[in-house]
Amino acid sequence: MLKGKQILLIVGGGIAAYKALDLVRRLRERGAGVLGVMTPAARQFITPLSLASLTGGKVHEELFSLTDEAEMGHIELSRAADLVVVAPATADLIAKAANGLANDLASTLLLATDKKVLMAPAMNLRMWLHPATCRNVETLTQDGVLFVGPGEGEMACGEFGPGRLSEPLDIVAAIETALRKDTRIPLPQGSLFGKRVVVTSGPTHEPIDPVRYIANRSSGRQGHAIARAASAAGAQVVLVSGPVAIVDPPGVDTRHVETAREMLAEVEAAMPADIFIAAAAVADWRTEAAGASKMKKGAAGAPDLRLVENPDILAAIGRRTAERPRIVVGFAAETDDLLANARAKLARKACDLIVANDVGEGTGVMGGLRNQVHLVDAVGTESWPSLDKEEVARRIVARLAALIGEQSSGGPRS
Ligand code: C5P
């Protein structure tokens, strides 16, 4: 499969650059030729000589090299190969490529090539999760650039998370897939790259007067964790959050609201989306008319608070006829008849999936760190053990990514 193929390998500057040497060895073992290009930063990690010894040819480093240009101009170099591979693809190289910069040899080759490009990112996890990098990866994905990884694990900087360069053999497998005619590299498992996800989270506050409001015990932890997990899976995420005491997830476009009506307006404004997840504990009722000034105690006794129903955000989105998200997910926090109520909610609010949890006294779910959920869809019910809310979020996101993948590939639910 790789025999006789030419790979133009651009090595970016990062601690993972040493793995590029192993990648060259694996490619050559399989009969591929490798043209090596290094960025100036890559020289801080590996030497041009070590790369040249493994590729068995010249390593190109400079844009304006008189000898190189005389032998093979950069335009020619960018097109001489069957595939361009960037490994490690640093945040800087990704940013340059996404913005069409061409101020050094590597970025010029990426702009000038007419071949498919496969990037294997490697960077610190905060750099990977930064909104700028997410935006750049999304732009490149839309441009047809293929990605492999990054993997998760402990990183050279001591942090743990996504950002590790994929293993050389995984990159080889991705190269083989990219070279196969008319095929695209399947997105990494659990990926939501290029997808837009809107999540609601937290409680809503419904004013009674300027100082008092109706609220509930929702902390926003589960909704925020879902937004974070969706963003880590590559989605472009809008989080519409009620008043919470936790921080905005990095890389997520977070919009703060107070009331159910404000939440509905922000959700509507964030549409269209591929996935909508209503994790907020929206107040079912608000006062009919919030007082403009503080209510006073007096001889008249307790005020007669008249309540009216709030709009149901989930049902409004689930029942949309135009631009309904492909997947609509609701939550059912119940204290009684959990599964029966969840099933009824699935139909009533036109959802594709309900995440049901028991919030009865003693469960510690509302405001707590753990959650025990049941997933209810048209097919049946699946119960998960009690898990950290972050883990529940990751699993929900993985499931949604699989579901949306099935839909796009004309799978069973499309
Ligand atoms: O009917 P119930 O409040 O139990 O439904 C819970 C689900 O509906 C949650 O997903 C919640 O976010 C959503 N919901 C909503 N707007 C409301 C009430 C609930 O989006 N006004």
Break the chain into its structural domains and give their ranges: 6-179, 196-287+304-408
CA–CA distance, 258 with 208 (Å, rounded to integer) = 13
Mutate to test the pocket of ligand 1, among 222, 239, 271, 312 (most ligand atoms within 8 A of CB): 312
Mutate to test the pocket of ligand 1, among 331, 348, 355, 375 (most ligand atoms within 8 A of CB): 331
pLDDT tens figures, 194-234? 899 999 999 999 999 999 999 999 999 999 999 999 998 88
**Ligand 1 centroid to 375 CA: how many Å?**
16
**Ligand 1 centroid to 190 CA: how many Å?**
26
Is 203 strand, coil or helix? strand
Average pLDDT, the chain: 89
Per-residue confidence (pLDDT) for residue 68, from 0 to 100: 65
φ/ψ of residue 28, rounded to 5: -70, -40
Q: 169: which DSSP letter? A: H
- Check: CB of residue 280 under 8 Å from CB of residue 263: yes
Per-residue confidence (pLDDT) for residue 219, from 0 to 100: 92
Per-residue confidence (pLDDT) for residue 414, from 0 to 100: 32
**Ligand 1 centroid to 313 CA: how many Å?**
7
Give the chain's residues under pLDDT 70: 64-72, 155, 181-190, 361, 363, 365, 367, 408-414
Q: How far is CA 96 from CA 89, 150, 202, 285, in A?
A: 11, 18, 37, 50
Mutate to test the pocket of ligand 1, among 266, 313, 343, 351 (most ligand atoms within 8 A of CB): 313
The CATH T-level fold of domain 196-287+304-408 is Rossmann fold (3.40.50)
Domain covering 6-179 assigned CATH 3.40.50.1950 in the classification: yes
Q: Does residue 330 have its Cβ closer than 6 Å to ligand 1?
A: yes
Based on C-alpha coordinates, what's the Rg of the chain?
A: 26
Q: Does residue 313 have its Cβ closer than 6 Å to ligand 1?
A: yes
φ/ψ of residue 47, rounded to 5: -95, 150
Catalytic residue status for 134: no
- Check: CB of residue 239 under 8 Å from CB of residue 275: no
- Check: CB of residue 78 under 8 Å from CB of residue 106: no
Atom of ligand 1 at shortest distance to CA of 332?
6
pTM > 0.75: yes or no: no
Residue 383: burial class (beta carbons within 10 Å; 0-12, 13-18, 19+): exposed
Comparing 6-179 with 196-287+304-408, is the CATH topology the same?
A: yes
In this structure, what token pair is assigned to residue 168? Answer: 């050389």
Per-residue confidence (pLDDT) for residue 143, from 0 to 100: 80
Name the helix (H) or strand (E) containing 11.
Answer: strand 6-11
**Ligand 1 centroid to 221 CA: how many Å?**
16
Q: Does residue 282 have its Cβ closer than 6 Å to ligand 1?
A: yes
**Ligand 1 centroid to 334 CA: how many Å?**
11
Place of tokens 């390593």: 59
